[in-house]
Structure 1
């Protein structure tokens, strides 16, 4: 009886080992085939964003009017590019005349410096803002009796943001972490990752000289100096990727952060804590894929709009993978050999 139990135990562990070897071999084969495919995603995002404007030791909120914009993601091998804008033909924005018109443009890319270090670089611009705290601002000038519900518009205002993040994976590597970036990567297995990232951001707010209020235009370019600020944050946390039956999956990430931010042309700075989190659920059968996700950036700040901050974002997208042209594969093979 004992010998039978012992034989069964050896057989059981042998089968587990053999099953794992098959799974690892399938993943290796998939990664090799994926090198010759291009992934493309088109999506729609809703962004709630605000930008700080310091006046008489009080921070007022500037906001873009249109919150919806389209997003596109393209990936081939290690080149992962994203860009977004609100094209006129899409008619996805319903601008409020009281708040003016806003336009978005974003561009960024992600790549791995080695299997453990991911580099993220991003540029974003929004043009056309309105003063969300117009009533509170004008009460400083005309007194508490002012009670009109109109908004100051800044049609030429531009808010440009240059962002970057360098992340080190304590647990996990680029093959396991890459599907956390966006939907262009197919989730291959259940994964748990732990990472620490250094986030850095430089923002410029300018062209506030032209204002519109109740249809009347005012132009003051003499005092139109740009406002500049920086933010540096250290984020440490983890994420979970779980495969569900029939090619469904779910991804959840949470990163507590400690940050420092400063207005460069004012004697105003701040240390504080916050939380950056991200979640996505989707379907991916290897060729077609779609999903939806949300992103939350909470900051424990008494001056919560001192600098640019995305409070929350929601996006949906659909994409597909197709074979890349032979000449593209050939040229990238040459580049890969040089990088080795």
Structure 2
């Protein structure tokens, strides 16, 4: 009887170990097949963003008009590419005459330099902004009795942002983390990761000489130098990926951060804390997939708008995977051999 009692836990441990080996073998087999597949995602995002303009020791907020834009992701092997723009098809806002028009273009790359070291680079540009704090600005210029309606528009204003992040996975590796990046990888199992990343950002705001207000155009001939700033943040946190009923999954990430921000050429800088978080839920059956997500970036700052910051973002997307052409596989095999 004692022998039977002792053998039962051992048998259970054997079954658990055997099941894990089967799962690992299936994951490895899927990963090998996935090497020769291209994943494509198309989606719609809503971005709430503000940009700051310092004037007489006061920060005024500038906003882009069309906040909805189309987003695309493309992934093959170790390289993830994302780009987005705002075509007329997705121009959901109908207040162009009041706030002007904004043109978007963003492009980003994500790749792993080693099994635990991930690199992200991103460039975004937009043209056309309006003054959200127009009334406050006019009262500063003409007195507290000023009460006209409308927004100051800067149709030629350009905002360029260069971003990057280098992160190290303390718990987990690129196989576990890759599905956290976007929807191009299928979530295979329940995963918990912990990472530390260094985030860096350089922004340029220029071409504010042309102004439109209440239908009138004003051009200033002064040589207005661009406003430049940079931000460095140290982020540490973790994420959880959970499979639900086979093909459904959910992902949640949270990264508290310490950051330093500096307005170049001005005596304006600060140290502070913040939180970067991301959540997504979706469906993935290996061939096609869809999902929705929410991103939130909170900064504990009284001067939060003197540099670019994304407060929140909604994203919906749908995609599919297909076998890549033979010549593409052959050339990437050569590149993979060189990188080893």
- Determine if the TM-score, normalized by the shorter chain, exceeds 0.5: yes
Q: Could you tell which deviates more after superposition, 106-115 or 81-90?
A: 81-90
Equivalent residue for 1:267?
Answer: 267
Change (3 A) 1:196 1:132: same
Checking the alignment, whether the CA contact within 8 Å between 2:68 and 2:90 is kept in structure 1 is no
Checking the alignment, whether the CA contact within 8 Å between 1:234 and 1:258 is kept in structure 2 is yes
* Counterparts of 2:82 and 2:164, CA distance in 1: 14
| TM-score, length of structure 1 as denominator length | 0.98
TM-superposed deviation, 1:111: 0.2
Is the aligned partner of 1:100 residue 2:97? no
Equivalent residue for 2:284?
Answer: 284
Equivalent residue for 1:23?
Answer: 23
Structure 1 segments unaligned to the other structure (5+ residues): none
* Counterparts of 1:295 and 1:89, CA distance in 2: 24
TM-superposed deviation, 1:93: 4.5
Is the aligned partner of 1:50 residue 2:47? no
Equivalent residue for 2:337?
Answer: 337
Equivalent residue for 1:3?
Answer: 3
Instruction: Spell out, residue by residue over 1:36-67, the C-alpha distance to the aligned partner (whole angstroms, 9 max, x if none).
Output: 10000000000000000000000000000000
Equivalent residue for 1:158?
Answer: 158
Q: Could you tell which deviates more after superposition, 200-209 or 8-17?
A: 8-17
Give the secondary structure class of the aligned counterpart of 1:114. coil
Checking the alignment, whether the CA contact within 8 Å between 2:239 and 2:252 is kept in structure 1 is yes
Give the secondary structure class of the aligned counterpart of 1:218. strand
Instruction: Spell out, residue by residue over 1:221-252, the C-alpha distance to the aligned partner (whole angstroms, 9 max, x if none).
Output: 42321000000000011110000003100000
Is the aligned partner of 1:210 residue 2:210? yes
* Superposed CA RMSD: 0.9
Equivalent residue for 2:324?
Answer: 324
Matches for 1:191-270 after TM superposition, within 5 Å:
191-270=191-270
Change (3 A) 1:330 1:162: same
TM-superposed deviation, 1:12: 1.4
Matches for 1:76-155 after TM superposition, within 5 Å:
76-155=76-155
* Counterparts of 1:199 and 1:91, CA distance in 2: 31
Checking the alignment, whether the CA contact within 8 Å between 2:35 and 2:76 is kept in structure 1 is yes
Checking the alignment, whether the CA contact within 8 Å between 1:61 and 1:133 is kept in structure 2 is yes
| TM-score, length of structure 2 as denominator length | 0.98
Give the secondary structure class of the aligned counterpart of 2:165. strand
Checking the alignment, whether the CA contact within 8 Å between 1:69 and 1:92 is kept in structure 2 is no
* Counterparts of 1:243 and 1:167, CA distance in 2: 25
Give the secondary structure class of the aligned counterpart of 1:184. coil
* Counterparts of 2:66 and 2:178, CA distance in 1: 31
* Counterparts of 2:154 and 2:221, CA distance in 1: 12
Name the count of aligned residue pairs.
Answer: 340
Q: Could you tell which deviates more after superposition, 55-64 or 262-271?
A: 262-271
Is the aligned partner of 1:304 residue 2:327? no
* Counterparts of 2:45 and 2:319, CA distance in 1: 15
* Counterparts of 1:326 and 1:40, CA distance in 2: 18
Give the secondary structure class of the aligned counterpart of 1:98. helix
TM-superposed deviation, 1:322: 0.2
Checking the alignment, whether the CA contact within 8 Å between 2:172 and 2:194 is kept in structure 1 is yes
Equivalent residue for 2:174?
Answer: 174
